[in-house]
Amino acid sequence: MMPDLMGKEQTYSYADATAFLFNSLPMYQKIGKLAYKPDLSTALAFDAYFKSPHRRYKSIHVAGTNGKGSVSHILASVLQSAGYTVGLFTSPHLKDFRERIRVNGAPIPEEEVVHFVSKHEAEIKTLSPSFFEMTSALALEYFARQHADVAVIETGMGGRLDSTNVVRPVLSIITNIGMDHTEHLGDTPEAIAAEKAGIIKQDVPVLVGEWRRETAPVFDRVAREQHAPLYYADHLLRVLRAEQRGDMQCFSLVADGSLFPFEAAIDLKGRYQQINIVTALAAINILGGRFSKIRKPLLSISDEALAHGLSHVAAQTGLRGRWEIIAERPLIICDTGHNAHGLAETMPQLQALPYRRLHFVFGVVQDKDLDSMLPLLPVDAYYYFTQADLPRAMDARQLAERCIEYGLQGQVVQTVFNALKVARGNALPSDVIFVGGSTFVVAEALP
């Protein structure tokens, strides 16, 4: 039951509750920068209203331009295999709002969403949060009521002003820095790094996935100011070899200072996961007291739990859209890489596949830097320029005009559903169809 504005009681369904969230609150997924709030005042007010529920469990806070979703899911799976009750907060969702908030892999029940909105509707209307601010508050409060031992919390964008930045984690992770959301985070790697570094907390260890000459001074300075032990994952571990064996991607890795490699297998197929697994494994070792400058285990993770968690990431956490194969003959692959940094990792793997012809269902949102993205796309592909069903999507005809400037040829198909349908109709069994350019295009293509 939810009180309406006249004080009367009204029955709400899950559809009513989510409609309230999607339609009443500014949503970055839909409208972009108009939903972005350049301060933490609303998030802090929500946190005070709920009495800081995140203090009742340990948190791992994950930021970064790319890979933060995969790293978050990998960590959640390993911790779940270690016997912990694990909350996982990620964004955006692909099919169902409830994907954003999980406990031990299970999406938040519909009745919990309805309960939250109905019970706190008055406060929501008073504080006028953005969609992401409200969703963050829902996640943090739900994890506490579910008696989570630990929660893996992914930032939405940036870090310093992200509404998840009310938490004080046991470990902060910044996967990498790339040029994305520059209108909010800055137009240089150093500026973006400074925003991501905003999640570094006093005396809390921080792990940066990739050392870069431009950004390392930023992280070094902020970590020093915060007295936060700082690690670079690619200084701790490196991949010697990676290969696909059946449904598993297998890695041979070596730790810094060791002559003896060790093996790891993960149920995620994208080659870019070798970057993410280095970050995730470094984080797990820091949490377990290895590589640690403080030599104090924060969580207990056995080798058996590690192996099981790595090999069951998708099964245990519901991760989708990362080099996900949705059909064979023709092979259809969906991947959510949506900026130059991400496409630079996926395109070589795509072009290395054997195929007679490559078909590319392609759409983007309006704020993407096409001049950095389009040169990375294969010119031998035939494109189906399309747009997802949201206001932020770039018009398919406008996208086609820009792509032609870079020698990319194809046709305009107005909806993702129809674009994939046309591509399948044109493809032979020996062809490959790739769906990408935007998380939201992938979301509409997934079965």
Tens digits of residue pLDDT in 358-387: 999 999 999 889 999 999 999 999 999 999
56 and 83 share one domain: yes
Question: Which pLDDT value is given to residue 180?
Answer: 58
102 and 236 share one domain: yes
Nearest in space to 200 (alpha carbons), one of 228, 238, 241: 228
Task: Find out whether 218 and 190 touch, Cβ atoms under 8 Å.
Answer: yes
Question: Which pLDDT value is given to residue 130?
Answer: 87
CA angle at residue 446 from 327 to 105, to 5 degrees?
A: 110
pTM: 0.91
Cα distance between residue 166 and residue 132, in whole Å: 13
Question: Which pLDDT value is given to residue 341?
Answer: 87
Task: Find out whether 410 and 403 touch, Cβ atoms under 8 Å.
Answer: yes
Question: Which pLDDT value is given to residue 336?
Answer: 94
Strand residue runs (E) in 262-399: 262-266, 324-327, 331-334, 358-362, 382-387
279 and 333 share one domain: no
Asked if the model's pLDDT at residue 7 lies above 50, the reply is no
Please name the helix (run of DSSP H) or strand (run of DSSP E) that holds residue 106, with its range, or none.
strand 106-107
102 and 39 share one domain: yes
**For helices 189-196 and 216-225, what crossing angle results, to 10°?**
30
> What's the CATH code of the domain at 39?
3.40.1190.10
Tens digits of residue pLDDT in 225-271: 999 999 999 999 999 999 999 999 999 999 987 888 999 999 999 99
310 and 435 share one domain: no
Strands 358-362, 262-266: pairing is unpaired
Residues forming beta bridges with residue 331, ordered by sequence position:
432
Question: Which pLDDT value is given to residue 9?
Answer: 37
Average pLDDT, the chain: 91
Question: Which pLDDT value is given to residue 289?
Answer: 83
Nearest in space to 130 (alpha carbons), one of 5, 50, 21, 51: 21
Cα distance between residue 35 and residue 25, in whole Å: 8
Cα distance between residue 396 and residue 400, in whole Å: 6
Which of 288, 317, 346 is a domain's end point? 317
43 and 19 share one domain: yes
Cα distance between residue 107 and residue 239, in whole Å: 33
At residue 390, φ and ψ (nearest 5 deg) are -155, 150
Question: Which pLDDT value is given to residue 353?
Answer: 96
Question: Which pLDDT value is given to residue 184?
Answer: 59
Cα distance between residue 32 and residue 387, in whole Å: 15
Tens digits of residue pLDDT in 57-108: 999 999 998 899 999 999 999 999 999 999 999 999 999 999 999 999 999 9
Helices (H) and strands (E) in the chain, counts: 18, 19
Nearest in space to 231 (alpha carbons), one of 198, 258, 206, 248: 206
User: In total, how many domains does the chain have?
Assistant: 2
338 and 229 share one domain: no
Asked if the model's pLDDT at residue 4 lies above 70, the reply is no
Residues forming beta bridges with residue 291, ordered by sequence position:
none
Tens digits of residue pLDDT in 138-196: 999 999 999 999 999 999 988 899 999 999 999 999 999 876 555 656 679 899 999 99
> What's the CATH code of the domain at 340?
3.90.190.20
Cα distance between residue 155 and residue 132, in whole Å: 10
236 and 258 share one domain: yes
Question: Which pLDDT value is given to residue 349?
Answer: 95
Which of 317, 336, 352 is a domain's end point? 317
Nearest in space to 184 (alpha carbons), one of 63, 21, 33: 33
Residues forming beta bridges with residue 89, ordered by sequence position:
101, 153
Residues forming beta bridges with residue 415, ordered by sequence position:
387
Torsion sign (Cα): 98, 104, 105, 106 = negative
Query: Could you tell me where the DSSP H helices lie in 243-339?
Result: 273-287, 303-311, 313-317
Q: Among residues of the chain, what percentage have pLDDT more than 90?
A: 78
- Write out the two tokens for 356: 């007679």
Between 339 and 75, where is the model more confident? 75
- Write out the two tokens for 322: 């990362």
Please, which pLDDT band fits residue 287 given cuts at 50, 70 and 90? very high
Cα distance between residue 26 and residue 258, in whole Å: 50
At residue 397, φ and ψ (nearest 5 deg) are -70, -40
190 and 290 share one domain: yes
328 and 298 share one domain: no
Cα distance between residue 254 and residue 33, in whole Å: 42
Which of 317, 337, 363 is a domain's end point? 317
306 and 350 share one domain: no
Cα distance between residue 57 and residue 59, in whole Å: 6
Instruction: Give the domain extent around 399.
Output: 324-445
- Write out the two tokens for 80: 């779940």
For range 32-60, the mean pLDDT: 85
Burial class (CB in 10 A: 0-12, 13-18, 19+), 160: middle
243 and 357 share one domain: no
Question: Which pLDDT value is given to residue 2?
Answer: 44
CA angle at residue 225 from 221 to 227, to 5 degrees?
A: 110
Please, which pLDDT band fits residue 5 given cuts at 50, 70 and 90? very low
Task: Find out whether 445 and 334 touch, Cβ atoms under 8 Å.
Answer: yes
